Amino acid sequence: MAVRVLIVDDHPLTRTALSSLLEQSSFSVVGEAADGAEAVDRARELRPDLVLLDLSMPGTDGLEVLPRLRAAAPESEIVVLTASGTEENLLAAIRGGAAGYLLKSEPPERIAEFLEGVVKGEAALSGSVARRLLERVRVGGDRDSAVPASIASALSARELEVLLLLDEHLGTDEIARRLFISEHTVRSHVKHLLHKLGVSSRREALELLARERA
């Protein structure tokens, strides 16, 4: 079945171009919104598989609306598509629950490829954005809370979130509440991250994390 997408951008021409691009791939654009308030209403009504979200919009900007979107449609993956590649916006979006962060300067076919990857649980980060995020993970926080690049480079942004919450000894239900997603989605992310890390259990994943930090 086609992946159902909600496009949130205040520029009609951008929405039209994105809609045309996605309809040529394995996506079905089920709705559009021009601002944050409309985005929340449409997400709650349509329950899309994927929300493509611009950051710069009138009224409530994308960063402010992110947690509201996740609460309105917890099963939806949210990918930021913006012209701003600043570290501040990147980190705020990832902390806010975005499953990806893409720049509008990406070639159109790459945007479609990235979004297809998100549906499969893969990373959706423009190259320059990914490099900045990985560098921040390498040097950010204290040694016991950072994720080594050897692990971070293998996982999507959402999988990194889940791994760090597992490292806090949270259960599936607690992770689901923290990330505003279902327990089924948490288990799916855990399954994907275990496979990517080449381990068979949460305990082995945390042991690997501890070894790489040493």
Digit-coded pLDDT (tens) for 163-210: 988 988 889 998 888 777 788 889 999 999 999 999 999 999 999 998
If you search the block for the tokens 């190259």, which residue do you land on? 127
Do residues 79 and 109 touch, judged by C-beta distance below 8 A? no
Compare 137 and 124 and report the one with higher pLDDT. Answer: 124
Please, what is the average pLDDT of the chain? 85
Measured between alpha carbons, how far apart are the two ends of the chain, in Å?
45
Predicted TM-score (pTM) above 0.85:
no
The average pLDDT across 106-122 equals 85
For the chain, domain boundaries: 3-132, 143-213
Q: Please check the confidence at residue 106 and state whether its pLDDT lies above 70.
A: yes
What CATH number was assigned to the domain covering residues 143-213? 1.10.10.10
Q: Are 69 and 76 in contact (CB under 8 A)?
A: yes
pLDDT recorded at residue 141: 45
The CATH number of 3-132, from 3.40.50.620, 1.20.1260.10, 3.40.50.300, 3.40.50.2300, is: 3.40.50.2300
Task: Give residue 183's identity as a one-letter amino acid code.
Answer: E
- The answer to whether 194 and 202 are in contact (CB under 8 A) is yes
**Rounded-to-integer distance, Cα 47 and Cα 196, Å:** 29
